[in-house]
A = this chain, B = another copy of it.
Amino acid sequence: MLELRLVQGSLLKKVLESIKDLVNDANFYCSSTGFSLHAVDSSHVAVVSLLLRSEGFEHYRCDRNLCMGMNLGNMSKMLKCAGNDDIITIKADDGGDTVTFMFESPTQDKIADFEMKLMDIESDHIGLPDAEYHSIVRMPSNEFSRICKDLSTIGDTVAISVTKEEVKFSTAGDIGTANIVLRQNTTVDKPEDAIVIEMKEPVSLSLALRYMNSFTKATPLSDTVTISLSSSSELPVVVEYKVAEMGYIRYYLAPKIEEEEDTNP
Protein backbone atom coordinates (compact mmCIF):
# COMPACT_ATOMS: atom_id res chain seq x y z
CA MET A 1 0.00 0.00 0.00
CA LEU A 2 1.08 3.50 -0.83
CA GLU A 3 0.11 6.64 1.03
CA LEU A 4 2.11 9.84 0.57
CA ARG A 5 0.85 12.97 2.29
CA LEU A 6 2.29 16.27 1.10
CA VAL A 7 1.27 19.30 3.16
CA GLN A 8 2.45 21.82 0.58
CA GLY A 9 0.35 20.27 -2.18
CA SER A 10 1.01 23.18 -4.55
CA LEU A 11 4.52 21.74 -5.06
CA LEU A 12 3.07 18.67 -6.76
CA LYS A 13 0.85 20.88 -8.94
CA LYS A 14 3.90 22.89 -10.03
CA VAL A 15 5.95 19.74 -10.66
CA LEU A 16 3.32 18.46 -13.06
CA GLU A 17 3.19 21.77 -14.91
CA SER A 18 6.98 21.50 -15.31
CA ILE A 19 6.84 18.07 -16.95
CA LYS A 20 3.57 17.65 -18.79
CA ASP A 21 4.47 19.62 -21.92
CA LEU A 22 7.67 17.62 -22.35
CA VAL A 23 6.42 14.09 -21.61
CA ASN A 24 2.98 12.59 -22.35
CA ASP A 25 3.09 9.29 -20.42
CA ALA A 26 5.60 8.27 -17.78
CA ASN A 27 6.26 5.83 -14.97
CA PHE A 28 6.48 7.21 -11.46
CA TYR A 29 8.56 5.10 -9.09
CA CYS A 30 7.91 4.88 -5.41
CA SER A 31 10.32 3.33 -2.93
CA SER A 32 11.34 3.90 0.67
CA THR A 33 13.72 6.60 -0.62
CA GLY A 34 11.16 8.74 -2.37
CA PHE A 35 8.86 9.41 -5.26
CA SER A 36 10.65 9.77 -8.60
CA LEU A 37 10.39 9.88 -12.38
CA HIS A 38 12.92 9.56 -15.22
CA ALA A 39 11.61 10.09 -18.70
CA VAL A 40 12.68 10.93 -22.22
CA ASP A 41 10.67 13.72 -23.85
CA SER A 42 8.28 12.76 -26.61
CA SER A 43 10.72 13.79 -29.36
CA HIS A 44 13.51 11.72 -27.71
CA VAL A 45 15.91 14.63 -27.28
CA ALA A 46 15.72 15.74 -23.67
CA VAL A 47 15.50 13.83 -20.40
CA VAL A 48 13.65 14.91 -17.29
CA SER A 49 14.42 13.52 -13.87
CA LEU A 50 12.39 14.19 -10.73
CA LEU A 51 13.03 13.23 -7.12
CA LEU A 52 10.83 14.01 -4.13
CA ARG A 53 12.54 12.48 -1.09
CA SER A 54 10.40 10.59 1.44
CA GLU A 55 11.50 12.92 4.29
CA GLY A 56 9.74 15.79 2.57
CA PHE A 57 6.31 14.19 3.03
CA GLU A 58 4.37 14.59 6.26
CA HIS A 59 3.42 10.94 6.06
CA TYR A 60 5.17 8.46 3.75
CA ARG A 61 4.08 4.87 3.60
CA CYS A 62 5.35 2.66 0.79
CA ASP A 63 5.10 -1.04 1.70
CA ARG A 64 6.83 -2.26 -1.46
CA ASN A 65 8.40 -0.61 -4.47
CA LEU A 66 5.79 0.49 -6.98
CA CYS A 67 5.97 1.62 -10.59
CA MET A 68 2.89 3.55 -11.69
CA GLY A 69 2.36 4.52 -15.33
CA MET A 70 0.43 7.73 -15.66
CA ASN A 71 -0.78 10.02 -18.42
CA LEU A 72 0.66 13.34 -17.33
CA GLY A 73 -1.98 15.40 -19.09
CA ASN A 74 -4.76 13.65 -17.19
CA MET A 75 -2.79 13.78 -13.94
CA SER A 76 -2.34 17.52 -14.44
CA LYS A 77 -6.07 17.98 -15.06
CA MET A 78 -6.79 16.33 -11.72
CA LEU A 79 -4.11 18.19 -9.77
CA LYS A 80 -5.41 21.49 -11.13
CA CYS A 81 -8.57 20.74 -9.14
CA ALA A 82 -6.55 20.98 -5.91
CA GLY A 83 -6.52 24.38 -4.24
CA ASN A 84 -3.13 26.03 -3.83
CA ASP A 85 -3.31 25.63 -0.05
CA ASP A 86 -4.62 22.06 -0.14
CA ILE A 87 -2.85 19.07 1.38
CA ILE A 88 -2.44 16.41 -1.31
CA THR A 89 -2.27 12.68 -0.54
CA ILE A 90 -1.33 10.12 -3.22
CA LYS A 91 -2.82 6.67 -2.54
CA ALA A 92 -2.53 3.33 -4.35
CA ASP A 93 -2.98 -0.33 -3.54
CA ASP A 94 -0.21 -2.79 -4.35
CA GLY A 95 -1.11 -4.35 -7.66
CA GLY A 96 -4.11 -2.07 -8.16
CA ASP A 97 -4.78 -0.39 -11.47
CA THR A 98 -5.71 3.04 -10.15
CA VAL A 99 -4.14 5.86 -8.17
CA THR A 100 -6.11 8.27 -6.00
CA PHE A 101 -5.25 11.90 -5.36
CA MET A 102 -6.91 13.26 -2.24
CA PHE A 103 -7.15 17.02 -1.69
CA GLU A 104 -7.93 18.43 1.76
CA SER A 105 -8.64 22.11 2.21
CA PRO A 106 -6.75 23.77 5.11
CA THR A 107 -9.99 24.08 7.10
CA GLN A 108 -10.95 20.44 6.36
CA ASP A 109 -14.37 21.62 5.13
CA LYS A 110 -13.71 20.26 1.69
CA ILE A 111 -12.31 16.85 0.87
CA ALA A 112 -11.94 15.73 -2.72
CA ASP A 113 -10.67 12.46 -4.11
CA PHE A 114 -9.84 11.97 -7.75
CA GLU A 115 -9.20 8.43 -8.97
CA MET A 116 -7.20 7.90 -12.15
CA LYS A 117 -6.58 4.72 -14.13
CA LEU A 118 -2.95 3.62 -14.36
CA MET A 119 -1.29 2.63 -17.66
CA ASP A 120 1.31 0.08 -18.68
CA ILE A 121 4.24 2.04 -20.04
CA GLU A 122 7.41 0.51 -21.33
CA SER A 123 10.26 2.28 -19.64
CA ASP A 124 13.11 3.65 -21.71
CA HIS A 125 16.43 2.71 -20.21
CA ILE A 126 18.00 6.04 -19.49
CA GLY A 127 21.71 6.00 -18.81
CA LEU A 128 22.84 9.33 -17.51
CA PRO A 129 26.63 9.71 -17.58
CA ASP A 130 28.32 10.34 -14.28
CA ALA A 131 29.74 13.55 -15.56
CA GLU A 132 32.16 16.13 -14.36
CA TYR A 133 31.02 19.59 -15.21
CA HIS A 134 33.49 22.33 -16.09
CA SER A 135 31.22 25.27 -15.44
CA ILE A 136 28.29 25.68 -13.13
CA VAL A 137 26.13 28.80 -13.22
CA ARG A 138 23.54 29.60 -10.56
CA MET A 139 21.18 32.47 -11.31
CA PRO A 140 17.65 33.73 -10.62
CA SER A 141 15.24 31.38 -12.36
CA ASN A 142 13.02 34.15 -13.71
CA GLU A 143 16.06 35.87 -15.27
CA PHE A 144 16.97 32.61 -17.02
CA SER A 145 13.39 32.21 -18.21
CA ARG A 146 13.31 35.78 -19.52
CA ILE A 147 16.57 35.33 -21.43
CA CYS A 148 15.40 32.11 -23.12
CA LYS A 149 12.09 33.71 -24.07
CA ASP A 150 13.72 36.91 -25.35
CA LEU A 151 16.31 35.10 -27.47
CA SER A 152 13.57 32.89 -28.98
CA THR A 153 12.10 35.96 -30.64
CA ILE A 154 15.35 36.32 -32.61
CA GLY A 155 16.72 32.79 -33.18
CA ASP A 156 16.36 29.04 -32.61
CA THR A 157 19.65 28.24 -30.92
CA VAL A 158 21.36 29.78 -27.92
CA ALA A 159 25.13 29.72 -27.58
CA ILE A 160 26.17 29.79 -23.92
CA SER A 161 29.74 30.85 -23.11
CA VAL A 162 31.05 30.83 -19.56
CA THR A 163 34.16 32.59 -18.41
CA LYS A 164 35.36 33.34 -14.90
CA GLU A 165 33.51 36.62 -14.64
CA GLU A 166 30.52 36.32 -16.90
CA VAL A 167 28.12 34.12 -18.80
CA LYS A 168 27.03 35.11 -22.30
CA PHE A 169 23.88 33.97 -24.10
CA SER A 170 23.85 34.62 -27.86
CA THR A 171 21.62 33.92 -30.81
CA ALA A 172 21.19 34.92 -34.44
CA GLY A 173 18.25 34.88 -36.81
CA ASP A 174 16.78 36.50 -39.89
CA ILE A 175 16.14 39.84 -38.25
CA GLY A 176 19.52 40.19 -36.54
CA THR A 177 21.63 39.01 -33.65
CA ALA A 178 21.49 39.25 -29.88
CA ASN A 179 23.99 38.92 -27.04
CA ILE A 180 23.08 39.00 -23.38
CA VAL A 181 25.89 39.11 -20.82
CA LEU A 182 25.39 38.42 -17.12
CA ARG A 183 28.19 39.37 -14.78
CA GLN A 184 28.98 37.36 -11.69
CA ASN A 185 27.40 39.15 -8.73
CA THR A 186 27.36 37.71 -5.24
CA THR A 187 26.91 40.94 -3.29
CA VAL A 188 23.14 41.14 -3.47
CA ASP A 189 20.51 41.85 -0.85
CA LYS A 190 18.64 38.62 -1.41
CA PRO A 191 20.79 35.45 -1.89
CA GLU A 192 18.40 34.21 -4.61
CA ASP A 193 19.31 37.24 -6.75
CA ALA A 194 22.97 36.25 -6.92
CA ILE A 195 24.66 35.22 -10.14
CA VAL A 196 27.32 32.70 -9.15
CA ILE A 197 29.79 31.20 -11.62
CA GLU A 198 31.96 28.23 -10.70
CA MET A 199 34.35 27.77 -13.59
CA LYS A 200 37.10 25.18 -13.83
CA GLU A 201 37.44 25.56 -17.59
CA PRO A 202 35.83 28.02 -19.98
CA VAL A 203 32.90 26.38 -21.79
CA SER A 204 31.07 27.38 -24.94
CA LEU A 205 28.24 25.34 -26.44
CA SER A 206 24.97 25.63 -28.35
CA LEU A 207 21.51 24.47 -27.31
CA ALA A 208 18.06 24.38 -28.87
CA LEU A 209 15.98 27.23 -27.44
CA ARG A 210 12.78 25.25 -27.90
CA TYR A 211 13.85 22.82 -25.17
CA MET A 212 15.33 25.49 -22.93
CA ASN A 213 11.97 27.25 -22.99
CA SER A 214 10.23 24.00 -22.01
CA PHE A 215 12.56 23.62 -19.05
CA THR A 216 11.69 27.08 -17.77
CA LYS A 217 8.15 25.84 -17.07
CA ALA A 218 9.72 24.82 -13.75
CA THR A 219 10.41 28.47 -12.82
CA PRO A 220 7.52 28.69 -10.30
CA LEU A 221 9.16 25.84 -8.32
CA SER A 222 12.29 27.72 -7.31
CA ASP A 223 13.77 31.20 -7.17
CA THR A 224 17.06 29.95 -8.57
CA VAL A 225 18.20 27.64 -11.34
CA THR A 226 21.55 25.87 -11.72
CA ILE A 227 23.00 25.21 -15.17
CA SER A 228 25.87 22.72 -15.39
CA LEU A 229 27.95 22.65 -18.55
CA SER A 230 30.80 20.48 -19.74
CA SER A 231 33.37 21.35 -22.37
CA SER A 232 32.93 17.87 -23.84
CA SER A 233 30.24 18.16 -26.47
CA GLU A 234 29.13 14.60 -25.71
CA LEU A 235 27.89 15.45 -22.23
CA PRO A 236 24.45 16.95 -21.84
CA VAL A 237 23.79 20.23 -20.13
CA VAL A 238 21.86 19.91 -16.88
CA VAL A 239 19.28 22.51 -15.85
CA GLU A 240 18.21 21.98 -12.25
CA TYR A 241 15.45 23.46 -10.11
CA LYS A 242 15.18 22.54 -6.43
CA VAL A 243 11.76 21.42 -5.20
CA ALA A 244 11.64 23.10 -1.76
CA GLU A 245 13.96 21.18 0.60
CA MET A 246 12.74 17.82 -0.58
CA GLY A 247 14.18 17.18 -4.00
CA TYR A 248 14.75 18.46 -7.48
CA ILE A 249 13.69 18.44 -11.09
CA ARG A 250 16.55 18.13 -13.58
CA TYR A 251 16.47 18.51 -17.33
CA TYR A 252 19.23 17.06 -19.53
CA LEU A 253 19.85 18.26 -23.08
CA ALA A 254 22.67 17.37 -25.49
CA PRO A 255 24.49 20.34 -27.04
CA LYS A 256 24.15 20.95 -30.77
CA ILE A 257 27.21 19.98 -32.77
CA GLU A 258 28.67 23.20 -34.19
CA GLU A 259 28.44 23.23 -37.93
CA GLU A 260 31.87 23.99 -39.32
CA GLU A 261 30.68 26.24 -42.08
CA ASP A 262 34.07 27.62 -43.09
CA THR A 263 35.73 24.29 -43.92
CA ASN A 264 33.41 23.41 -46.79
CA PRO A 265 35.02 23.94 -50.18
* Given A78-B153, A78-B176, A109-B183: 15 more A-B contacts, CB < 8 Å: A71-B175, A77-B154, A78-B178, A80-B153, A81-B150, A98-B176, A109-B182, A109-B195, A110-B143, A110-B182, A110-B183, A113-B178, A114-B176, A115-B176, A117-B176
State the CA gap A109–B166 with chains docked (Å). 9
B residues near A176, Cβ cutoff 8 Å: 74, 78, 98, 114-117
Can you list, as one digit per residue, whether each of A24-60 has a CB less than 8 Å from chain B (1) or not (0)? 0000000000000000000000000000000000000
Interface assignment of A108: CB less than 8 Å from any CB of chain B: yes
B residues near A109, Cβ cutoff 8 Å: 182-183, 185, 195
CB-based contact A112/B175 at 8 Å? no
State the CA gap A166–B78 with chains docked (Å). 22
CB-based contact B180/A112 at 8 Å? yes
Interface assignment of A232: CB less than 8 Å from any CB of chain B: no
Known contacts A107-B185, A185-B107: A112-B78 contact under CB 8 Å: no
B residues near A123, Cβ cutoff 8 Å: none
Interface assignment of A111: CB less than 8 Å from any CB of chain B: yes
CB-based contact B117/A175 at 8 Å? yes
Dominant secondary structure at the A interface: strand
Question: Smallest distance from the beta carbon of A91 to chain B beta carbons, Å?
Answer: 13
State the CA gap A71–B174 with chains docked (Å). 12
Q: Can you tell how many copies of this chain the complex includes?
A: 3
CB-based contact A180/B110 at 8 Å? yes
Interface assignment of A65: CB less than 8 Å from any CB of chain B: no
Question: Smallest distance from the beta carbon of A5 to chain B beta carbons, Å?
Answer: 18
State the CA gap A117–B178 with chains docked (Å). 12
State the CA gap A179–B111 with chains docked (Å). 8
CB-based contact B81/A178 at 8 Å? yes
State the CA gap A81–B152 with chains docked (Å). 10
Nearest B residue to A113, CB-CB: B179
State the CA gap A107–B182 with chains docked (Å). 11
Nearest B residue to A83, CB-CB: B146
| A:106-165 near B, CB below 8 Å | 107-117, 143, 150-151, 153-154
